[in-house]
Amino acid sequence: MVPTLYWDNDVVMILDQRKLPAKTTFIACRDMQRVIYCIQTLAVRGAPAIGVAAAMGLVLAGRSIRVKDPAKWRDRFSAKAEIMRAARPTAVNLGWAVDRILALVAVAPDEVETILAMMRTESEIMLAEDIAVNKAMGKHGARLVPKKATIITHCNAGSLATCGYGTALGVVRAAHEAGKKVKVIADETRPLLQGARLTAWEMVQEGIPVAVAPDGASGALMDKGLVDLCITGADRVAANGDAANKIGTFNLALQARRHGIPFYIAAPLSTIDLDTPSGDLIPIEERDAEEVLKFATCRSAAAGSEALNLAFDVTPNDLVSAIITEAGVLKPPYNRSLARAKAKAGLKVT
């Protein structure tokens, strides 16, 4: 797979996903602002990938602070970290990554060069960990996939949304690698077509059969018996299991319930936010109206019309059959299973 992001000496290289599948080009980021630009314009997107991009961007931010006094450096660095945290609101992995770097900075020795070196190493560890976590998630999730199955997914929760392998598509990959006959239906995912452009591209490269369907087709496809299960990713899972993901995921989950089809979410523990009790408290990003009013670069909506461009929706926990994590497949009641899995992994429980 083409890497989503990587270090090239002291430069952060980010695959420009806006250009896919037509072109494979990278954006060279030499400062934090450039990384934020990539996050906000969706050159890099997907919750886990955004988190690691943020960690790398903070290394660039740290290097740009030209003071030697560690206390002053830490003050300026904290201010920059808050700018990074605000780059996109819904994916909790962004704040999770910022907090992880800030925690490291707080306990690091009082020497700026040492702190910078430790941050760089930490960002590399986070990248490698993300791939390992996705593979573990894939193994657990593959057990839920029948020997022959058509899986519908929404947006792109694949290699491109992570540092490699993917969450929802990681489960698909693991099932495929285990010899199961899997087919994928990729919701096209209006308005930015992450399904049609990115999920379909990944699956074609992997040799996994894939069909792109309009977002509104899921009910009809399920009605015709063409779907066995749904697997999507998530940008933030609240403590009670309510899950924010790309707009349209809630509709898919409702259709799945109507048709008696399992609806799974695959998300790493870093996407589970125990500090947010329920989905109504998850901040939902609203993006530029132009994304909806135009199709690619051409205006497609009637002149004079406005747009509603909520980038994410929240699927209530009662529609989620299980949450696939690196710690195993978590079942309702989620308040208990999510807290237990995070505690076991040594992560913060509130």
Minimum Å distance from CB 298 to ligand MRU? 21
By CB under 6 A, how many residues form the interface with ligand MRU?
A: 19
Position among 12, 14, 35, 45 found at the interface with ligand MRU (CB under 6 A)? 45
Give yes or no for residue 97 binding ligand MRU (CB under 6 A). Answer: no
313 is catalytic: no
By CB under 6 A, the residues from 296 to 335 that bind ligand MRU are 311
Residue 32 gets the label, from left (phi > 0), alpha (psi -120 to 50) or beta, of alpha
Interface stretch with ligand MRU, choices 39-47, 176-184, 327-335, 338-346 (CB under 6 A): 39-47
CB nearer to ligand MRU: pick between 45 and 74? 45
Asked if 147 contacts 181 with a C-beta cutoff of 8 angstroms, the reply is: yes
Please give the span between the terminal C-alpha atoms of the chain, in angstroms, as a whole number: 38
Minimum Å distance from CB 159 to ligand MRU? 9
CB nearer to ligand MRU: pick between 53 and 145? 53
Give yes or no for residue 59 binding ligand MRU (CB under 6 A). Answer: no
* Cα separation, 317 vs 203, whole angstroms: 28
Give yes or no for residue 48 binding ligand MRU (CB under 6 A). Answer: yes
Position among 4, 15, 20, 46 found at the interface with ligand MRU (CB under 6 A)? 46
Minimum Å distance from CB 54 to ligand MRU? 13
* Cα separation, 51 vs 169, whole angstroms: 18
Give yes or no for residue 173 binding ligand MRU (CB under 6 A). Answer: no
CB nearer to ligand MRU: pick between 246 and 342? 246
Position among 15, 20, 32, 42 found at the interface with ligand MRU (CB under 6 A)? 42
Give yes or no for residue 167 binding ligand MRU (CB under 6 A). Answer: yes
Position among 4, 162, 321, 337 found at the interface with ligand MRU (CB under 6 A)? 162
By CB under 6 A, the residues from 201 to 260 that bind ligand MRU are 232-235, 245-246
Position among 151, 161, 227, 322 found at the interface with ligand MRU (CB under 6 A)? 161
Asked if 243 contacts 177 with a C-beta cutoff of 8 angstroms, the reply is: no
Minimum Å distance from CB 91 to ligand MRU? 6
Give yes or no for residue 138 binding ligand MRU (CB under 6 A). Answer: no
The one catalytic residue in 130, 215, 235, 273 is 235
Binding-site ranges for ligand MRU (CB under 6 A): 42, 45-48, 91, 155, 157, 161-162, 167, 194, 232-235, 245-246, 311
Active site residue ranges: 235
